[in-house]
């Protein structure tokens, strides 16, 4: 069935470090791909999306490119800030259903 | 515009008790979803609805029921609570590719 696999955390980085969180997917057809972010005690919020192969989603300095050949959608940011500390979820949409990865916890230390 | 609201925020149930988790959205979205999030895990889809009067099972529907009599409301019913249903429950509605999440209900079954 359809699924998302993302790298396990937790990830701890120093401020201004480079961030990569890996995400790969399995899906029939052509899913849309997403990264969501969850801050403590809150629901998930959409961070960025890509709806077709080779699309690049970007928001708040985060980027991810939809790679059909490697079935991947890795999240990157060139310089993280303390305020980026959160849990990040990779997700795909196929038909009417969303499938989420297990989440990667990121802590950025000053 | 309140977005997606959920009540209650917290609840403790005894085994075998019943309860309804309320979810309301004021964005006139047709698609609504119920997820559960267990510690260190991603979101698992319980039920979803594509419009008033239409519901369908997700990945983990056992032990739950839903109804959708209006566009705004999508309550989730637990009939005989079990410890395995201890989780955080999120309701979401969708516009296009974006899911809007409520703040969650933390349920403990003892």
* 3-class SS letters over chain B: CCCEEEECCEEEECCCCCEEEEEEECCCCCEEEEEEECCCCCEEEEEEEEECCEEEECCCCCCEEECCCCCCECCEEECCCCHHHCEEEEEEEEECCEEEECCCEEEEEC
Is residue B64 within 8 A of residue B56, CB to CB? The reply is no
pLDDT at A1 over 90: no
CB contact under 8 Å between B97 and A51, yes or no, is yes
**Each residue's pLDDT tens digit, A36-83:** 999 988 889 999 999 999 999 999 999 999 999 999 999 999 999 999
Q: Which of A32, A43, A103 sits opposite B90 (nearest CB)?
A: A43
* Chain A residue whose CA is closest to B10: A41
């Amino acid at each position: 069935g359809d699924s998302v696999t993302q790298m396990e955390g937790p990830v701890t980085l120093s401020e201004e470090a480079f961030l990569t969180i890996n995400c790969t997917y399995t899906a029939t057809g052509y899913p849309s791909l997403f990264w969501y972010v969850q801050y403590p005690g809150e629901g998930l919020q959409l961070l960025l999306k890509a709806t077709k192969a080779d699309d690049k989603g970007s928001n708040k300095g985060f980027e991810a490119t939809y790679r059909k050949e490697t079935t991947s959608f890795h999240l990157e940011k060139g310089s993280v800030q303390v305020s980026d500390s959160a849990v990040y979820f990779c997700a795909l949409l196929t038909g009417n259903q969303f499938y989420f990865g297990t989440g990667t916890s990121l802590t950025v230390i000053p | 515009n309140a977005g997606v609201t959920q009540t209650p925020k917290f609840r403790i149930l005894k085994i075998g008790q019943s309860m309804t988790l309320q979810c309301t959205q004021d964005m006139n979205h047709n698609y609504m979803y119920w997820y559960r999030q267990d510690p260190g895990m991603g979101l698992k889809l319980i039920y979803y609805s594509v419009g008033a009067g239409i519901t369908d099972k997700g990945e983990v529907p056992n032990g739950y029921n839903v109804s959708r009599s209006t566009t705004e409301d999508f309550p989730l019913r637990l009939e005989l609570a079990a410890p395995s249903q201890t989780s955080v429950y999120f309701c979401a509605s969708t516009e296009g590719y974006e899911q809007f999440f409520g703040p969650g209900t933390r349920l403990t079954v003892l």
